[in-house]
A and B are shown apart, each in its own frame.
Chain A
Amino acid sequence: MDMSRYLDTFLEEARENLQQMEQVLLSLEASPENKLLLDQIFRSTHTIKGMSATMSYNTMAEVTHEMENILHQLRKGELRLTTAFTDLLLKAVDLLNSMVIDIANGGKGELPVEHILSLLRDSASINQQVTAEEIMISPAARDQHCQLPISSINFNQFEKNLIMKAIDQGYQCYHLVVHINSSSTMKSARAFVIFKNLEQVGEVVKTIPSVQEIEEERFDNSFELIIISGESPEVIRECLLSIAEMEEPEINSISEVINLLPDSKSDEGDSNFCDLTETMEKPETIKTTEAIEVREAVLGTDAILEPTNTRTGFTQSIRVENSKLDSLMNLVGELVISKTRLDRIRRAHPVPELTDTFEQMSRVTADLQDIVMKIRMLPIETVFSRFPRMVRDLARDLDKDIDIVLTGEDTELDRTVIDEIGEPLLHLIRNAVDHGIENFQDRAARGKNKQGLISLTAKYEGNHVVIEVEDDGKGIDPEAIRRTAVKMGLFTAEQVAEMDAEALVNLVLEPGFTTAEAVSDISGRGVGLDVVRSKIEALSGSIQIQSVPESGTKFIIRLPLTLAIIQALLVSVENETYAIPLSFISETTSVLPHDITKVQDKEFMFLRGNLLPLKRLQNIFQVPYSSVAKEPEMNLVVVKKGSRYVGLVVDTLIGQQEIVIKPVSSLFGNIDVIAGATILGDGCVSLIIDVSGLL
Chain B
Amino acid sequence: MNDVQLISWAVSNEEYAVEIENIQEIVRVTDITRMPFSQHYLPGVINLRGMVVPVMDMAKRLHLPELTLSDSSRIIIVARGGITAGLLVDRVSEVVKLDLSYIESQDILSSAESTIKYIKGIAKLGERVLLILDMDRIFELDDE
Interface of A with B (CB < 8 Å)?
333-334, 337, 576, 620-623, 662-669, 671, 673-674, 677, 679, 683-687
Contacts and interface: CB of A to CB of B under 8 A. Distances in A.
B45 interface: yes
Contacts of B34: 576, 623
B141 interface: yes
Contact of A662 (B36, B38, B51, B83): B51
A668 B56 CA distance: 10
A668 B38 contact: yes
Contacts of A669: 39, 141
Nearest to A334: B50
Contact of A677 (B52, B82, B85, B139): B52
A677 B141 contact: no
B84 interface: yes
A685 B33 contact: yes
A673 B38 CA distance: 11
B144 interface: no
Nearest to B32: A685
B121 interface: no
Interface in B51-89: 51-54, 56, 82-85
Contacts of A677: 33, 45, 52
B36 A671 contact: yes
A685 B52 CA distance: 7
Contacts of A684: 31, 33, 47
A620 B85 CA distance: 26
16 contacts: A334-B50, A623-B36, A665-B45, A665-B53, A665-B84, A667-B42, A667-B139, A668-B35, A668-B38, A669-B39, A671-B35, A677-B33, A677-B52, A679-B52, A684-B33, A685-B45
B36 A685 contact: no
Nearest to A671: B37
Given A673-B36, A684-B47, A668 B54 contact: yes
Nearest to B141: A669
A664 B33 CA distance: 12
B46 interface: yes
A663 B141 CA distance: 18
Contacts of A673: 36-37
Nearest to A333: B50
A636 B39 CA distance: 29
A675 to B, nearest CB: 12
A474 B123 CA distance: 67
Contacts of B85: 665, 667
Contacts of B84: 665
B36 to A, nearest CB: 4
B42 A668 contact: yes
A679 B46 CA distance: 9
B52 A666 contact: no
Interface string B75-113: 000000011110000000000000000000000000000
Contact of B83 (A334, A666, A686): A666
A337 B51 CA distance: 12
Given A679-B47, A687-B35, A667 B52 contact: no
A333 B52 CA distance: 13
B60 to A, nearest CB: 14
B37 A664 contact: no
Contacts of A685: 31, 33, 44-47, 52
Contact of B50 (A337, A621, A666): A337
A693 to B, nearest CB: 10
A156 B92 CA distance: 60
Given A665-B83, A669-B39, 8 more contacts: A664-B35, A665-B54, A665-B84, A667-B85, A667-B139, A679-B50, A686-B33, A687-B33
A667 B50 contact: no
Contacts of A674: 35-37
A328 to B, nearest CB: 15
A426 B47 CA distance: 41
Nearest to B138: A667
A336 to B, nearest CB: 11
B37 to A, nearest CB: 5
